Structure 1
Amino acid sequence: MALSHFALALAAADFIGSTLSALGSGFIILCYVFLPVKRHYRHLLILNLAVADFMNGINNGISGAFVLAQGPLQYSAACVANGLIGQLSVQATDTSIFAIAIVTVVIVTETRDGWLSKRTRWKVAVVCASTWVLPIITSFVALGKGYYSAVSGNWCWIRTEPAYLRYVLTHAWRFLFIFSEIGLYVYLYIHLRKSFRTMNFLIANQIQVSTEASIPSHLSSVSAEPPRDPELKIHVSQTQFNKVDGDSSAEKFRPVDGPDVSDEEAPPPTPHYYPPGKSSASVRQSPIPAMDEKRQRQVARVLLLNAYPIAYIVLWIPGLCNRLVEASGHTSRVLQLMQATTQFVGFANALTYGWNENVAKSLKEAIKRW
């Protein structure tokens, strides 16, 4: 059966999104499995998310290719299998992103005695396995009840009648996850803002004390302040500490499993003021190294922006709106076409969660070796 111009455009947009998501998530899986990527606490969670996105991309890509070649989908055993895999994988994506949000907030804000303070693989494996519990339950409940059928788009999924089915099994959970993730990351943003201000205040006080202590007594009555030349200043925006000479005061401010930031991107050093009686070498050995504002912003970006599910939420808005219209008994060609953005979620997740400078660096080194 030939497709109309609108149906062809819709099928092509869906197919492109599914294919890009499959390629993007598959590439991240290969990188994480075969490249010597530096391991961090979210490594398995990101790999788990990529597996769910890859399943969904391949599943919808196959059905999309069939639609382009043969026409609209019809109810069949293949349609039921397509709906089952689609429900399982797309909800696993939802739960995986929610799990990453929870673990990110816990790791950044927890104390050293917290459950994840000493990360072991079995703990992360438990979290990863838990992301598949809800998808397995809902997908097989729909299978047992015979809810799968052809729907708008390049795939089969839960039928439109009765209208509450899709919300009980999928959409209500997705709304819960999205609003929870927004709340979690707002809380994390506020927490980090307070932490940065606290660290800067403590570092400024320690530097002031060490500066005053280093000034000889015969000069202290003259001036205890550094010159006010704008080119001679101390940068105290420090967010990550290294323990030096057994000083335990710096250790308590070390972020748990800090961000993977390459030193190659560090900006050139800026001039520093060295107090009287202190050489540049002695200042560099201080347990309070300096970090400029650009470096601080880079750390904040790795901690926050790489974890934010902004692209995931934005890409799902048209699809959710289209399903709401369908639940009301109406159809909208504009929303059906915009629903194609949901097929790019896997590709966006690969860029947001999977790809980072360490993966890029490992890939370049592997290409050079080959």
Structure 2
Amino acid sequence: MRLPDLLDRRSGALAAPATAWGDLVLNQVLFAVALASALGAGFVMLSYTFIKELRSYRHQLILGLAISDFFMAINFLWASGIHVAGGDLALPKNNTTCNVNGFLTQLFVVQTDWWILVIAIATYIILGNFKAASQYIQSNIWIPWLPPWIMSIIIALVCQLALGYGYIGGWCWITSDLNRLLINFIPRWAIVIAIALIYARLYMIVRKARKWDMEDRNPTPSDEMADTSVILVSIKQKRDTIGQTAKDSQPYDSGGDLSSYSRERDRDRDEIIRSANLSRSHGQTQPLNVAQLKRIAKKMMVYPVAYAIIWACPTAIRIYQGVTGERAPLWVTIIDKSCIVVQGLVDAVVYGLNERAWQGWRDHIQRVIDKNKAGKIIG
């Protein structure tokens, strides 16, 4: 059957390719990209499930982002897979399916925005030495999970009722480029700017930190009152130092051990540092030199930069098509859509694929192998 040259039934959605051939190519590319994103997010979820060292408080938030990325990728796989298999979400008979797909697209795209903001705020609270706030959010893990889900559900429902969803090429979403720009892209860039400011502040805190020297290993009485178990100490304190791990730290109260909250907070701070791929020796945290501190600070800035890069092209295309009313070339449309779909894979690389995750998997596989060998010997 010969495919029609023009897809007039697209109802004027400029984001959809003008030809059936272009639509097919677009969906084939998006299917592959969505599959990669689903695998990346799935890797983060499996790492949290099987590697007990990756179950800190911050990793619980990263797990929330991975879950959103995973379901968003599955939603894109579903939509593009329908077209690769010869279906068409733009047909009237598929109107219900298109609306469901559009609702889920809006839901999870907004949700991932909120997750990266929540992770940035939690990281700042943990590293910034805000003891009361840190204790509160770690004692009530459900609190950070509420904003991403509540806000995304509300926004998706409002868009469903006010605008509706239609096929835009690859999946269903708000058909107007201008409306998508106002509803999704402007708030998204506000979040990108917000997390950039948060991590910039952490960058400055890290750069002000100092390596422990021999004098610091014999603290004065006033220093003993400081939280030397933390990785980063607030610059408002008398000295900026790199502290010891929770195992080596001084207790808060004389004559007593660290509280469970203190150990949990210290473990999360140590986790953030270890996620920066710093070297470890026999499981002990080593004093950090200036070069390592700068490395941590630079890694923090990767988060907002990576997110900005992902959404730069789609935002530019929304502005171009929304203002001019003209459809972008096919290859630009493919890049535009791929940048959105690839988010799950990028988040997995930025947040989940680090040296500690790989080491955790190697240790886990080795334990399984050793267990099987022991079982054979006993048998």
Per the shorter chain, which TM-score range? 0.7 to 0.9
Report the counterpart of residue 165 of structure 2 in structure 1. 148
- Asked whether the equivalents of residues 267 and 294 of structure 1 are also in contact (C-alpha less than 8 Å), the reply is no
Give, as a single letter, the amino acid of the residue that structure 2 aligns with 1:308.
Y
Q: Give the Cα separation in 2 of the matches to 1:246 and 1:350.
A: 36
Asked if residue 31 in structure 1 is aligned to residue 47 in structure 2, the reply is: yes
Structure 1: tracts of 5 or more residues without a match: 211-236, 269-288
Report the counterpart of residue 184 of structure 2 in structure 1. 170
Asked if residue 257 in structure 1 is aligned to residue 253 in structure 2, the reply is: no
Q: Offset of 1:259 from its aligned partner?
A: 3.1
Report the counterpart of residue 225 of structure 1 in structure 2. none
Q: Give the Cα separation in 2 of the matches to 1:158 and 1:109.
A: 39
Q: Give the Cα separation in 1 of the matches to 2:20 and 2:96.
A: 26
Using a 3 Å threshold, how does the CA distance of structure 1 residues 66 and 209 change in structure 2: closer, same or farther?
closer
Report the counterpart of residue 307 of structure 2 in structure 1. 312
Report the counterpart of residue 125 of structure 1 in structure 2. 142
Q: Give the Cα separation in 1 of the matches to 2:74 and 2:248.
A: 51
Using a 3 Å threshold, how does the CA distance of structure 1 residues 111 and 62 change in structure 2: closer, same or farther?
closer
TM-superposition CA deviations, 1:105-142 (whole Å, max 9, x none): 12211332x211365352x3211121112110111112
Q: Give the Cα separation in 2 of the matches to 1:264 and 1:191.
A: 18
Q: Offset of 1:104 from its aligned partner?
A: 1.1
Report the counterpart of residue 116 of structure 1 in structure 2. 134
Report the counterpart of residue 48 of structure 1 in structure 2. 64
Report the counterpart of residue 334 of structure 2 in structure 1. 337
TM-superposition CA deviations, 1:70-109 (whole Å, max 9, x none): 2653151111010001100111011101111111112211
Report the counterpart of residue 242 of structure 2 in structure 1. 239
Report the counterpart of residue 281 of structure 1 in structure 2. none
Using a 3 Å threshold, how does the CA distance of structure 1 residues 247 and 343 change in structure 2: closer, same or farther?
closer
TM-superposition CA deviations, 1:17-37 (whole Å, max 9, x none): 211111111221122123323
- Candidates 103, 114, 128, aligned match of 1:84: 103
TM-superposition CA deviations, 1:26-79 (whole Å, max 9, x none): 221122123323432212211110111111100111111112222653151111
Report the counterpart of residue 102 of structure 1 in structure 2. 121
Q: Offset of 1:184 from its aligned partner?
A: 1.5
- Candidates 176, 192, 202, aligned match of 1:160: 176
- Candidates 324, 343, 347, aligned match of 2:319: 324
Q: Give the Cα separation in 2 of the matches to 1:349 and 1:148.
A: 26
Using a 3 Å threshold, how does the CA distance of structure 1 residues 204 and 331 change in structure 2: closer, same or farther?
farther
Give, as a single letter, the amino acid of the residue that structure 1 aligns with 2:326.
H
Give, as a single letter, the amino acid of the residue that structure 1 aligns with 2:159.
A
Report the counterpart of residue 351 of structure 2 in structure 1. 353
Using a 3 Å threshold, how does the CA distance of structure 1 residues 119 and 77 change in structure 2: closer, same or farther?
closer
TM-superposition CA deviations, 1:212-247 (whole Å, max 9, x none): xxxxxxxxxxxxxxxxxxxxxxxxx97232575958
Alignment of 1:223-234 (within 5 A): none
- Asked whether the equivalents of residues 319 and 335 of structure 1 are also in contact (C-alpha less than 8 Å), the reply is no
- Which structure has the greater CA radius of gyration? 1
Using a 3 Å threshold, how does the CA distance of structure 1 residues 67 and 40 change in structure 2: closer, same or farther?
same
TM-score, with normalisation over the residues of structure 1? 0.73
- Asked whether the equivalents of residues 126 and 269 of structure 2 are also in contact (C-alpha less than 8 Å), the reply is no
TM-superposition CA deviations, 1:303-362 (whole Å, max 9, x none): x25x72322221111111112222121221143122122211110101111223332222
Q: Give the Cα separation in 1 of the matches to 2:156 and 2:219.
A: 63
TM-superposition CA deviations, 1:241-275 (whole Å, max 9, x none): 25759587xx99x968323339993489xxxxxxx
TM-score, with normalisation over the residues of structure 2? 0.71
Q: Give the Cα separation in 2 of the matches to 1:121 and 1:107.
A: 13
Structure 2: tracts of 5 or more residues without a match: 4-18, 221-239, 253-257, 370-379
Q: Give the Cα separation in 2 of the matches to 1:266 and 1:293.
A: 16
Identity of aligned residues (%): 25
Q: Offset of 1:298 from its aligned partner?
A: 5.5
Q: Give the Cα separation in 2 of the matches to 1:27 and 1:267.
A: 26
- Asked whether the equivalents of residues 84 and 140 of structure 1 are also in contact (C-alpha less than 8 Å), the reply is yes
